[in-house]
Structure 1
């Protein structure tokens, strides 16, 4: 279990982190922690909850300041009463153990894919953003979640499988229409670090094939459509473990795409691939579409293309009726939100 954000704190911050962790683990209604201002306490709690997804039952806190005291009284806000929390803890522990069991003998890359696919196949995006959807209780207990809950669930499952994994958080960018922070994961495989955004892939997958557009991206590619991180994270510099490259579905020539398109037509399957032959532009699409449309016509089919422009991934289907639009842009961002935990002074 990686306590990554704990190690980013100074000694005093670590003592506060430990005190809050101990009090929350004991489900104490209140407890003393070394003295800190409210915003600093909020930062420590936020980091703790990124490191410890099992603290799913904490939504925020208030605090009391005693003049001249070396500590403050920390008063947690819990989602449930103590009995209900213990019940959920037992159920989630059993759930994680059961989910992890079939993947224990897999390679690290296979374990990562197993966790990713679980999220994509079993978790719905919670548009209502209920409180438990920000924690592992949503995705692992209720089958619904937002980015924070999904990223924490990925970490919980990776922890159970012995994979190094952290949750990372990006800034909001209101000027670009990005109102909220977003959360995803970084994993370490074979000594290298990679970005994994299961939430974006879940959104793109919908009811269709599982998408891997955000599976093992390097920094250069993830930040094409993700904002800068709030906290420092390991550099992700290796682009060779990107899913479509590993699976040989990353093409550099129009001829490769057409050949694969013809195979997909024969098998009555969609064609999903990454374009690596320079920048993906509308000019490239204008080269790809005519030969694909010709191959489709020969089988009384049509072509429909959905494009994830930032990641240069194309999802091509061959419907038997003319589509309303031949080419559409895919959006992976669901308007994400992270739960606020601003303190109040009691």
Structure 2
């Protein structure tokens, strides 16, 4: 009888010890990984595209483990996922990293729940779409993205591929200043044809990832037309080993209701711009998000021969050549840049004053391209003194 009592006491003690261990010991990492593996998920120790997972690389070791576990299962729309023990703030970093690294996760709502039972911790995702709805939408997205990728890959350099993607996305999308949740996704831009800054940036990221162009999202603030700071998102891209800021939203003239853009062609003011120059109007949430963008701005204008440090016949001839090419393509605008504010003002007067040279440039271009029929009396323009860029818009007779 005494032996039986001893056995019972030992069993009870063992149960208490196991329960105590379950409740207080750091078993959560082991439990989380084993729970995922038991369901058939492969928990990657690393990723082939590890360098492209910018926000993953900013996490702590334990946060990275949580990222890998959630990423392995989230596309199956689980009700909950066992994860390592993290504070709410730590897991928010994980959740943001997952979102900012993976633009195709647009089925996730921006809310989640963390809960625990003893040493077992659960991430409970909130979904914006059903699995069936998402699978239909991502199929449409991939079809449209593949068309862009095929066209972009006709170019041989990273710069030209980036330029094609920039121009295409800005030309097919209408800026959406509303609360439609799809407007902040790749689906909103590629399928619905309208997006806000988040939609532009995530779509560019999605396409660049497939093209092998290194990039990441930047969150921050930007001054609107009223001079008020508001939340904003843009991209950092690495082209030929140099990093630049890229803001497709602000290069889409549908964003600016005051401008009558007759050919719907994008601007290139915010195409490959340095942090020094962009910081006039933008501010990143963290300096290290865009600190690497130190290369010279305005490569687009330099490559086109439209960055001017001197006003005169050389500038006039360069603009005439570009206007003729623009008319041949059926476009109706031209953008030019200047190296300093004095040249900017002098150049504007040289071209657009009452006896400015743009009038004669249009007459000459009309002779070279008879189908253009541009009215030299109806020249419109948009001046950007912050970036020393002028855009001229041409109207047909």
TM-score strictly above 0.5:
yes
* TM-score of the superposed pair, with normalisation by structure 1: 0.81
Matched, 1:104 2:153: yes
Q: Corresponding residue for 1:335?
A: none
Q: Corresponding residue for 1:55?
A: 105
Do 2:70 and 2:83's aligned partners in 1 also have CA atoms closer than 8 Å?
A: yes
Deviates more, 1:187-196 or 1:224-233: 224-233
Matched, 1:79 2:128: yes
CA gap 1:136/1:303 in 2 versus in 1, 3 angstroms:
closer
The 3-state SS of whatever aligns with 2:77 is coil
What is the alpha-carbon root mean square deviation over aligned residues? 3.0
Residue correspondences, number: 319
Q: Corresponding residue for 1:90?
A: 139
Matched, 1:143 2:188: no
Once residues 12 and 164 of structure 1 are traced to their aligned partners in structure 2, the CA distance between those partners, rounded to angstroms, is 25
The 3-state SS of whatever aligns with 1:99 is helix
CA gap 1:52/1:207 in 2 versus in 1, 3 angstroms:
farther
Q: Corresponding residue for 1:273?
A: 336
The 3-state SS of whatever aligns with 1:221 is helix
Q: Corresponding residue for 2:209?
A: 159
Deviations 1:158-177 (A, max 9, x none): 11111112111114679951
Per the TM alignment, residue 14 of structure 1 is displaced from its structure 2 partner at its CA by 0.7
CA gap 1:64/1:207 in 2 versus in 1, 3 angstroms:
same
Of Structure 1 and Structure 2, the greater helix share is in 2
Q: Corresponding residue for 2:296?
A: 239
Do 2:108 and 2:128's aligned partners in 1 also have CA atoms closer than 8 Å?
A: yes
Do 2:55 and 2:100's aligned partners in 1 also have CA atoms closer than 8 Å?
A: yes
The 3-state SS of whatever aligns with 2:250 is helix
Once residues 281 and 103 of structure 1 are traced to their aligned partners in structure 2, the CA distance between those partners, rounded to angstroms, is 34
Do 2:220 and 2:284's aligned partners in 1 also have CA atoms closer than 8 Å?
A: yes
CA gap 1:242/1:291 in 2 versus in 1, 3 angstroms:
farther
CA gap 1:307/1:57 in 2 versus in 1, 3 angstroms:
same
* TM-score of the superposed pair, with normalisation by structure 2: 0.71
Per the TM alignment, residue 124 of structure 1 is displaced from its structure 2 partner at its CA by 1.1
Per the TM alignment, residue 262 of structure 1 is displaced from its structure 2 partner at its CA by 5.8
Q: Corresponding residue for 1:343?
A: none
Per the TM alignment, residue 52 of structure 1 is displaced from its structure 2 partner at its CA by 0.6
Once residues 35 and 173 of structure 1 are traced to their aligned partners in structure 2, the CA distance between those partners, rounded to angstroms, is 39
> Larger radius of gyration, structure 1 or 2?
2
Q: Corresponding residue for 2:25?
A: none
The 3-state SS of whatever aligns with 2:104 is coil
CA gap 1:88/1:170 in 2 versus in 1, 3 angstroms:
same
